[in-house]
Amino acid sequence: MRNALKKIAVATGVASVAVVLGATQAMAIPATTWTVTPNPAPFTAVSTNTVLSVSGIPLTCPTASASGSAFSATGNPATIGNITSATFGTTASPCTSALGPVTPIATTTPAWQLVAEDYTSGVTKGYIKNIQAKLTVLTCTFNVTGEVNATYTNSTKKLAVSNSTRQLTVSGATAACAGIVANGAHPTFTGTYSVTGITSIVGS
């Protein structure tokens, strides 16, 4: 009888610990409800200060634009938008560098995704993933893929991008890229986009 009671006590204790641990883990990562207004929200975003820096060489675009659709979602992290078009520079205002003209061509199939992770006082922080682009500098051609950090501020309707914790990676660099950029390099990307079409993003 004593052995049976001991077994019951041990089993009950283990079950209690499991329940407590499960509850603690659930509390540590709460599901967030992301409310995008309107829902869905077709949007456009325009920047006048995007810079991709490779090997310490800034590749600057006086104009850049993106468009797609944002939408409400639940989760943490959660995908709250798809970027289905992205352009850098124009014929009239091309991207430039100390080495000469720069021609970036973005690939947005599959779509670049806007992911939300944190919300505080009107500011949503997260990242953009699935980034793909091909760049040409002089006769050097290379690909850039990966993710960048993204912060959207409701009061200013600005989307800021950077590489504070996310990474872009160079691949497919041609022989002409020797001395300019190498495969495996991690360029930085910064820019601030003015967004129209999204009234607000709120996490709760």
Q: Which are the contacts of 180, defined by CB distance < 8 A and separation ≥ 6?
A: 54, 55, 57, 99, 137, 138, 140
Q: Which of 179, 101, 87 has its CA nearest to residue 133?
A: 87
pLDDT for residue 10 is more than 50: no
pLDDT of residue 26: 39
Q: Chain-wide mean pLDDT for the chain? A: 89
Q: Residue 89 and residue 20: Cα distance in Å, rounded? A: 55
Residue written as tokens 């325009």?
46
pLDDT of residue 17: 38
Q: Residue 147 and residue 163: Cα distance in Å, rounded? A: 8
pLDDT of residue 31: 77
pLDDT of residue 167: 97
Q: Greater confidence, 71 or 20?
A: 71
